[in-house]
Amino acid sequence: MATYIALIHKDSDSDFGVSFPDLPGCITAGRSLDEAKDFAAEALAAWVEDAVEAGESLPDPSSLERILEHEDSSDALAVLVVPAPEVRSRTVRINLTVPEHELIAIDQAAQEAGMNRSAFMVRASLKNAHEKA
């Protein structure tokens, strides 16, 4: 299982910010270190999912030494090692028919959860399926 290194930053008037130097745009934040750690795992999982959906390959994780040479590491408060989720099977496109007002509500909920529509609908569907099982 691949692991990626995340850098945690904190300004006096901000939450704990988390970034992954190996993964452009993979960032998150949390009010506490524990929350930042949990959100880092979620952000990494979402980044990996989006990359797989787009047909992109994941970059090889850098070594700690290389991460510490990165310009963003100079003011890092802490370093996290976050395991990447297993890359799942190929994503399949489906078509759904949904009333427009429900689609608007789904999109709003997905945005609030920091997810895209597809990921949100899959997560909601799986949660529903597990609750009924």
Structural domains for the chain: 1-89 (3.30.160.250), 93-133 (1.10.1220)
Residues 6+ apart with CB under 8 A from 86: 1
- pLDDT tens digit sequence for 79-128: 888 988 887 666 778 999 999 999 999 999 999 988 899 999 999 998 88
- Strand-pairing partners, residue 48, are none
Q: Residue 40: is it exposed, middle or buried by C-beta count within 10 angstroms (0-12/13-18/19+)?
A: buried
Which three-class secondary structure state does DSSP give residue 90? Answer: coil
For the chain, the average pLDDT equals 89
Residues 6+ apart with CB under 8 A from 113: 120
The model's pTM: 0.62
